[in-house]
Chain A
């Protein structure tokens, strides 16, 4: 008797537990996007990692942004005029409101820029705005940006998302976002778990089928992301899909796999503090040892193009007439012999390089390790979680590493990565590369405002970079989106921007009107 009662209670309890709505059920009109890592900052004045930037793009508007073809288009700025080599005037749109009701004026723009530029606020974006001499609000809707000298990439600096004036700085555990003018606003943020965005009430939409909100769910495990796609728990997974899973996902009903050319540039960076790597012969040998065709075909399953340099063919300054390094291990061995690294009986050359990576990058590390072993170079792989890896890269605690640049738009980036004084924390020259000819060229590229002249300069930069090998160009990664077929209207941007999520519609009306209610917490 007693036993039966106990059993019934246990069953009831289990039922309650089991029936509790798991966190990942979607509310009507909301889509779920699975992402690999948690965003760190939902404030455009601080965000520098890719996922934070992409989510911020949905909540905050800049004066100027990129269109799907990669060109500049005004957002908050209705029109732009360059009045002198050092001055640009932005005329702001009127009637734009923050999601708390206030209207956006030039004062908000000025205060956002001033906040980032002020070193006291320790914004990691300050370095990028170094060339700004001043931002002035000429009237309620006009902004004047003055640069220290003629500065070609000035417009890129205007891509900063705007927050209201008087918004305080971030403390280290901020789980809030400032008000923004973007199509969405923040509803909920649980670090390492999810970000929930809902439509900005100040920007009503007319389409009844447009999505009402987005749940960005942090799912670090790629297998789970794939499973969630297959089970339609997740509606969209942007990039970060394991290439090996693509054939499997393509074969699933109800899923679409969209690949489009991307600007994400993968490269091998050399640490010039290492004497062996300072020898050009060694770097060239490494370049000839890596079979990039094979890697793209077999490991990346064709979702990339062999890269010749930092800039993709879609970029206005692209020049493809540069020296390339087809797979040629024999030549690599010769170069290493010439460099003084003779091979012993086993073919190994007493040249050991430390390769740093994250656990996700371990497989590529092993591929490179195996390819370099074929020519006699020993590679030791050291894998750490992202923050430690990033810290190592910033401090020069590596010999070689494979990394990516996401969202390169203007060739000004060459200055940040190759100019000799631009080592971290000031710039991005992590390998401590120093070449006076390169310095001359990239500095000229920044200060020349005539586009034709700039193009000539950067053509030379690309040729020099391919010859001198501060980076070994690996490939340009395509953007790969896997989507639920019930979601329509997605437009890919070469830099991986998720801006078009604002235009998504759900093709199945039933998804908009279930009686389910709010997403459970």
Chain B
């Protein structure tokens, strides 16, 4: 077990390295001169050279790469051009807000998916099933881009129940979390329904019913736990997508998180800050995926021991 965890952690390093390299390549190997973009093509050559030197862009590429990786190891991501603060500091300030939003989104997703999936799975083919699954298809299709403003118009502007934008108490969290979590809820609900239907037909269920339990009680007592496993798997796989969705949601709701910081940095042509944000997002994605993998390894020994994946 420890060996397994250790191996997985070790595997993290090359992936993280690969991700960091892609980030570096993105920012540094792209056509066009970022300094000219910043200063304008009418700028004096002396100014351009000066800025290039300041940003360290006149050093050979491998040196810049080495400096980048070195900084990464010590947690130094450079200095933001627009605010002159340390990039790592800015990111550390904003990251908790993104975590708050993302976790709230997951909670909302689970809270919606469960009842929805169970209703659908309990009576497949019936009206409740069709209704719930219809709802789910719509939920997957409506992008955050539109769901956010829709909820804003309805709950904030027309009904005045909730505040419009910004971060504050619980009331500020509700609309963004619902926006973020709905699509995930729909996906999870569908999977839950599907696996419940599968479980119903399985042998041990028929045994339990044969022993005298009602269908629903059997489902609850025995079937649910097994039905949950693919759902949890799917949840883990979707967590990365949640991070991406949080970027748009943060911009819509003026949520002071990492996504919004990145978009502002892009607008400010603050390349060190953009690089830092992209890297943080990518590494978080990698860590989350790795953690999910490890959890499955713990739950399902077959995976750990290298057997077939489910």
Q: CB within 8 Å of B: which residues of A?
A: 14, 17-18, 20, 22-23, 172, 220-221, 223-224, 227, 231, 271, 273, 383-385, 387-388, 391-392, 395-398
Q: Which residues of B contact A384 (CB under 8 A)?
A: 267-269
Chain A residues, CB < 8 A from B3: none
12 CB-based A-B contacts, threshold 8 Å: A17-B169, A227-B157, A227-B164, A271-B42, A385-B267, A388-B82, A388-B267, A388-B268, A392-B40, A395-B40, A396-B43, A398-B40
With contact pairs A388-B267, A396-B40, A396-B42 given, residues A224 and B169 touching in the complex (Cβ less than 8 Å): no
Other than the given A22-B171, A395-B43, 4 more pairs (CB < 8 A) read A221-B164, A383-B267, A391-B38, A397-B42
A391 to B270: give the CA distance in the assembly, Å. 12
B84 at the interface (CB under 8 A from A): yes
Q: How far, in angstroms, from A231 to B268 measured CA to CA in the complex?
A: 34
Taking a contact as CB atoms under 8 Å apart, the answer to whether A223 and B164 are in contact is yes
A33 to B123, CA, bound (A): 56
B165 pairs with A221, CB closer than 8 A: yes
Pairwise interchain contact B268-A224, C-beta atoms closer than 8 A? no
Measured CA separation A384–B156 after assembly (Å): 28
> Taking the nearest CB of chain A, how far is it from the CB of B286, in angstroms?
30
Instruction: Give a binary string over B30-43; 1 marks a CB under 8 Å from any A CB, 0 the rest.
Output: 00000000111111
A430 to chain B, nearest CB (A): 12
* Distance of A22 from chain B, by nearest CB (Å): 6
Q: Which residues of A contact B43 (CB under 8 A)?
A: 395-397
Kindly count the residue-residue contacts between A and B in the assembled complex, taking CB atoms under 8 Å apart: 58
**B162 nearest CB across to chain A (Å):** 10
CA of A252 to CA of B217, assembled, Å: 57
Q: Is the CB of B82 within 8 A of A387?
A: yes
Chain A residue with the shortest CB-CB distance to B160: A231
Instruction: Please report the C-alpha to C-alpha distance between residue A221 and residue B166 in the assembled complex, in whole angstroms.
Output: 10
Q: Do A18 and B268 have beta carbons less than 8 Å apart? A: no
User: Is the beta-carbon distance between A18 and B267 smaller than 8 angstroms?
Assistant: no
How many Å lie between the Cα of A385 and that of B265 in the bound state? 9
Residue B207, interface by CB 8 Å: no
Interfacial residues of chain B within 49-84, with CB under 8 A of chain A in the complex: 82, 84
Pick the contact of B254: A17, A18, A220 (CB < 8 A): A220
Inside 8 A of A22's CB, which chain B residues have their CB? Answer: 163, 168-169, 171
Least CB distance from A407 to B in Å reads 26
Task: Known contacts A221-B165, A224-B164, A227-B157; decide if A397 and B267 are in contact (CB<8 Å).
Answer: no
Chain A residue nearest to B164 in the complex (CB) = A224
Q: Identify which of B168, B254, B267 contacts A221 (C-beta below 8 A).
A: B254
Q: Is the pair A17, B40 in contact by a Cβ cutoff of 8 Å? A: no
A-contact 0/1 string along B100-130, CB 8 Å cutoff: 0000000000000000000000000000000
CA distance A14 to B40 in the complex (A): 52
Provided the pairs A172-B84, A227-B157 are in contact, do residues A385 and B170 lie with their beta carbons within 8 angstroms? Answer: no
Which of B156, B157, B169, B171 has the most chain A CB atoms inside 10 A of its CB?
B169
Given that A221-B165, A227-B164, A388-B82 are known contacts, is A395 also in contact with B269, CB under 8 Å in the complex?
no
Least CB distance from A112 to B in Å reads: 26
Given contacts A227-B157, A392-B40, A397-B43, contact A385 B268 (CB under 8 A): yes
A449 to B13, CA, bound (A): 74
**A273 to B169, Cβ gap below 8 A?**
no
A397 to B47, CA, bound (A): 13
The answer to whether A388 and B168 touch across the interface, beta carbons within 8 angstroms, is: no
Given A18-B171, A221-B165: A397 touches B39 (CB 8 Å cut-off): yes
Inter-subunit contact A385/B171 (CB<8 Å): no
> Shortest distance in angstroms between B118's beta carbon and chain A's nearest beta carbon?
16
Would you call A388 and B40 a contact (CB within 8 A)? no
Most buried by B among A221, A271, A273, A397: A397
Within the complex, the shortest CB–CB distance from A233 to chain B, in Å, comes to 10
Q: Identify the 10 closest CB pairs spanning chains A and B, nearest first.
A: A397-B40, A17-B170, A385-B267, A20-B169, A388-B268, A224-B164, A18-B170, A396-B42, A273-B42, A384-B267
Instruction: State the CA gap A223–B164 with chains docked (Å).
Output: 9
Q: Which of B40, B156, B157 counts the most A-chain CB atoms under 10 A from its CB?
A: B40
B267-303 CB mask vs A (1 if < 8 Å, else 0) is: 1110000000000000000000000000000000000
- Give the Cβ gap from B271 to chain A, nearest Cβ, in Å: 12
B226 lies within 8 A of chain A by Cβ: no
Chain A residues contacting B267 (CB-CB under 8 Å) are 383-385, 388
Question: What residue of chain A has the Cβ atom nearest to residue B169's Cβ?
Answer: A20
Q: How far is it, in angstroms, between the C-alpha of A366 and the C-alpha of B169 when the chains are bound?
A: 38
- Compute how far the CA of A367 lies from the CA of B149 in the bound complex, rounded to whole angstroms: 25
Query: A395–B39 contact, CB under 8 A?
Result: yes
B264, CB-defined interface residue at 8 Å: yes
In chain B, positions 125-184 with a C-beta closer than 8 Å to chain A are 156-157, 160, 163-166, 168-171
CB-CB under 8 A from A391, the residues of chain B are 38
Interchain nearest-CB distance for B26 vs A (Å): 20
CB distance from A172 to the nearest CB of B (A): 7
CA distance A220 to B267 in the complex (A): 16
**CA gap between A172 and B84 in the complex, in Å:** 9
Contact B264 A385 (CB under 8 A): yes
What is the distance, in angstroms, from B45's C-beta to the closest C-beta of chain A? 13
Give the distance in Å from the alpha carbon of A23 to the alpha carbon of B168 in the complex: 8
Taking CB as reference atom, which chain A residue is nearest B253?
Answer: A221
How distant is B254 from chain A, measured CB to nearest CB, in Å?
A: 6
Contact residues in B for A220 (Cβ distance below 8 Å)? 254
Whether A14 contacts B170 by the Cβ 8 Å rule is yes
Residues from chain A with Cβ under 8 Å of B254 in the complex:
220-221
Cβ–Cβ < 8 Å partners of B47 in chain A: 395
Bound: A385/B42 CA distance, A: 21
Residues of A with C-beta under 8 A to B42? 271, 273, 395-397
A220 to B47, CA, bound (A): 33
CB A148 to nearest CB in B, in angstroms, measures 30
With a cutoff of 8 Å between Cβ atoms, the chain B residues found around residue A221 in the complex are 164-165, 254
> What is the distance, in angstroms, from B220's C-beta to the closest C-beta of chain A?
13
Complex Cα distance, B267 from A231, in Å, reads 33
A395 to B8, CA, bound (A): 51
